[in-house]
Amino acid sequence: MADRWVDHLLIGGGMAAAACASELRAAGGTGSVLLVGREPDPPYHRPPASKGYLQGRESRESALIELPGDVEVVTRTSAMALDPAAKVAKLSTKEEVEYGTALLATGAMVRRLQVDGAQLEGVHYLRALGNADAIRADAQGADRVVCVGGSYIGCEVAASLTQLGRRCTIVMLEDEPMERGFGRMVGRHVRAVLEAHGIEVVGGAAVERFAGDERVAAVVLGDGRELPAGVVVCGTGAVPDVMLARKSGLEIGELGGVRCDDRLRTAHDGLYAAGDICEHDSVVHGRVVRIEHEEVAAAQGRTVARNMLGADEAHREVPYFWSDLADWATLEYVGPAQTWDEEVVRGAPDDGEFSVWYLHEGRVVAALSAGGHADLDAARGLIAGREPVGAAGVPA
């Protein structure tokens, strides 16, 4: 016999669970909602951790996500076990909670570099607000900061710490920053923005090891080059946190997430997944996707809430993502493209106001907007329509 019953149990204290809680109320649900999260903070927005919060411009309070007052939020508490057949979760408080419906939204963890010196003081990763506090404090005394990884975390952190007066270097496997997601042309644009603000960008380079005694002093590259570093921030990707899901016997998909159908349901009655761990059949893309972006987590959380209340709807929102490089540049993107064979550029890349439309076999599969150039609603329509339009059908 469980210790207590709730109508809706939300496991994981991030954006997906928070959005689900709010939507349960907005959609008219009156049942009890219990949100259980492992972190010391109640649900908060992570994006400021590499942007305004890291720069010290935004407070912790402003990052918090507002929740309906009658949602019960328990922090510093993990779901340790889940029995999907009995519909019971066991919490780290030893309490057993029986639920009517449940959401698994345990998010992602940083991917750690397995190289010599990885344990040295001064080597940081960024996932939570507490990591941002540690990076900001540590970087204060550092002459040089090296950011490992050319994706959005590495680039945003380098931009934020440059604004705080630090000298930053980005080192990455790819030739150009952000090129994996957005292609070479956008990558060159991002490099130009970063370099114009004094950031050194080292592409095509693998980190061999971190050198130093107790504290990191340099990043050593595969070709023997040594980059002096008082602080290192690794933005080397994330892995879905499927520990609880795996232990509970849920199916893990090929993309490493919890396998769900187009309604974000797992194979178990009343049990859903959303956010970074959710690997679902996407009716928008016609393939299985798993996406690590805040607005996607929020939209999926809302779909789950409506389905918990009986809507039985497929998740149809076209994924959206943004990245800010300090106040120098903002990139927005809808997609994501798995692959593309044509890029159509509109606007004026040299002025930083342009869009890139990614086509595959004549269909728009993604669009990127720099400086607010593209009509992203038009892009969403073209992506969701999945009809060939060719370059001529792309808005001017």
Ligand X SMILES: Cc1cc2nc3c(=O)[nH]c(=O)nc-3n(C[C@H](O)[C@H](O)[C@H](O)COP(=O)(O)OP(=O)(O)OC[C@H]3O[C@@H](n4cnc5c(N)ncnc54)[C@H](O)[C@@H]3O)c2cc1C
**Which position among 57, 60, 127, 167 is part of the footprint of ligand X (CB under 6 A)?**
127
Question: Can residue 84 be called a binding residue for ligand X (CB under 6 A)?
Answer: no
Q: Which stretch binds ligand X (CB under 6 A): 99-107, 160-168, 217-225, 245-253?
A: 99-107
Binding track over 234-273 against ligand X, x by CB under 6 A = -------x--x-----------------------------
| Helix (H) / strand (E) containing 66 | none
Question: Can residue 34 be called a binding residue for ligand X (CB under 6 A)?
Answer: no
Are 131 and 39 spatial neighbours (Cβ–Cβ below 8 Å)? no
**Which position among 10, 297, 305, 331 is part of the footprint of ligand X (CB under 6 A)?**
297
Q: What is the DSSP string of 5-34?
A: EEEEEEES-SHHHHHHHHHHHHTT--S-EE
- In whole angstroms, the minimum distance from the beta carbon of 154 to ligand X comes to 11
List Cα–Cα distances, 348 to 12, 117, 179, 189, 276, in angstroms.
43, 44, 19, 11, 34
Q: Which stretch binds ligand X (CB under 6 A): 215-223, 224-232, 315-323, 325-333?
A: 315-323
Residue closer to ligand X, measured from CB, 13 or 149: 13
- In whole angstroms, the minimum distance from the beta carbon of 50 to ligand X comes to 4
- In whole angstroms, the minimum distance from the beta carbon of 52 to ligand X comes to 11
- Rg of the chain in Å (alpha carbons): 22
Q: Which stretch binds ligand X (CB under 6 A): 134-142, 198-206, 290-298, 328-336?
A: 290-298
The amino acid sitting at 179 is E
Q: What is the DSSP string of 227-250?
A: EE-SEEEE---EEE--HHHHHTTP
**Which position among 6, 9, 49, 129 is part of the footprint of ligand X (CB under 6 A)?**
49
Window 152-211: residues binding ligand X (CB under 6 A): 153
Question: Can residue 279 be called a binding residue for ligand X (CB under 6 A)?
Answer: no
Question: Can residue 317 be called a binding residue for ligand X (CB under 6 A)?
Answer: no
Please count the CA atoms within 13 angstroms of the CA of 48 that sit on its side-chain side.
Answer: 17
Residue closer to ligand X, measured from CB, 176 or 276: 276
Its sign, for the CA torsion 361, 364, 365, 366, is: positive
List Cα–Cα distances, 75 to 31, 78, 279, 298, 385, in angstroms.
21, 8, 26, 19, 42
**Which position among 96, 292, 317, 353 is part of the footprint of ligand X (CB under 6 A)?**
292
Q: Which stretch binds ligand X (CB under 6 A): 10-18, 133-141, 164-172, 348-356?
A: 10-18
Terminal Cα distance for the chain, rounded: 63
Are 345 and 356 spatial neighbours (Cβ–Cβ below 8 Å)? yes
Count interface residues toward ligand X (CB under 6 A). Answer: 36
Cα separation of 185 and 216, whole Å? 34
What the block records as the tokens of 212 is 């130093």
Question: Can residue 276 be called a binding residue for ligand X (CB under 6 A)?
Answer: yes
| Helix (H) / strand (E) containing 124 | strand 123-125
What the block records as the tokens of 210 is 């971190």
Secondary structure of residue 388 in the 3-state scheme: strand
**Which position among 228, 317, 322, 345 is part of the footprint of ligand X (CB under 6 A)?**
322
Binding track over 51-80 against ligand X, x by CB under 6 A = ---------------------------xx-
Question: Can residue 373 be called a binding residue for ligand X (CB under 6 A)?
Answer: no
**Which position among 6, 10, 16, 172 is part of the footprint of ligand X (CB under 6 A)?**
16
- In whole angstroms, the minimum distance from the beta carbon of 292 to ligand X comes to 4
Question: Can residue 126 be called a binding residue for ligand X (CB under 6 A)?
Answer: yes
- Cα 375 from chain centroid (whole Å): 23
Cα separation of 346 and 335, whole Å? 17
Are 81 and 248 spatial neighbours (Cβ–Cβ below 8 Å)? yes
Q: Which stretch binds ligand X (CB under 6 A): 11-19, 114-122, 327-335, 363-371?
A: 11-19
Q: Is 164 exposed, middle or buried (0-12, 13-18, 19+ CB in 10 A)?
A: middle
Question: Can residue 220 be called a binding residue for ligand X (CB under 6 A)?
Answer: no
Q: Which stretch binds ligand X (CB under 6 A): 39-47, 210-218, 346-354, 378-386?
A: 39-47
Q: Which residues bind ligand X (CB under 6 A)?
A: 11-17, 36-39, 46-47, 49-50, 78-79, 105-108, 126-127, 153, 241, 244, 275-276, 292-295, 297, 321-323
